[in-house]
């Protein structure tokens, strides 16, 4: 499988990449490891984002690269991730990954679900 640049589909900020790399390093993931970015049915608004560290891409995954980080995206999720930016932010209320999705037609207060 060829790795494609993710700039047109989705991007991961340097803050988010650094956080993912820190987690990968602490947990001794494989050299081929990457971040699985998915969209799953559920959440308060219809869809929710999913992030997971995986050692290898699945057979039908699209493999992307953003800021030097390998991303694995399944065929179902691709349609909902065009233009999405994943960031890692720290506020007084806590830290975590955020998703800026220009295609979402709505969301909810939790920030982790959306509708399209």
CA 73, 78, 83, 86: dihedral to nearest 10 degrees? -30
pLDDT for 3 equals: 54
Integer Cα distance of 116 and 98 in angstroms: 17
Question: To which CATH superfamily is domain 3-103 assigned?
Answer: HesB-like domain (2.60.300.12)
Domain map of the chain by residue range? 3-103
* Whole-structure pTM value: 0.81
List, for residues 87-115, the tens digit of each pLDDT value.
999 988 889 998 888 877 655 555 555 45
The per-residue pLDDT for range 14-24, each reduced to its tens digit, is 999 999 999 99
CB 35 within 8 A of CB 20: yes
């Amino acid at each position: 499988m060829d790795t494609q640049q993710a700039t047109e589909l989705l991007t991961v900020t340097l803050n988010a990449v650094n956080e993912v790399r820190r987690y990968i390093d602490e947990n001794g993931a494989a050299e081929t490891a990457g971040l699985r970015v998915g969209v799953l049915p559920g959440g308060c608004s219809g869809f929710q984002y999913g992030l997971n560290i995986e050692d290898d891409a699945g057979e039908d995954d699209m493999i992307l690269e953003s800021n030097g980080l390998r991303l694995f995206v399944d065929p179902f999720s691709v349609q909902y991730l065009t233009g999405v930016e994943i960031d890692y932010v720290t506020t007084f209320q806590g830290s975590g990954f955020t998703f800026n999705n220009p295609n979402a037609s709505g969301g909810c207060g939790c920030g982790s679900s959306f509708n399209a």
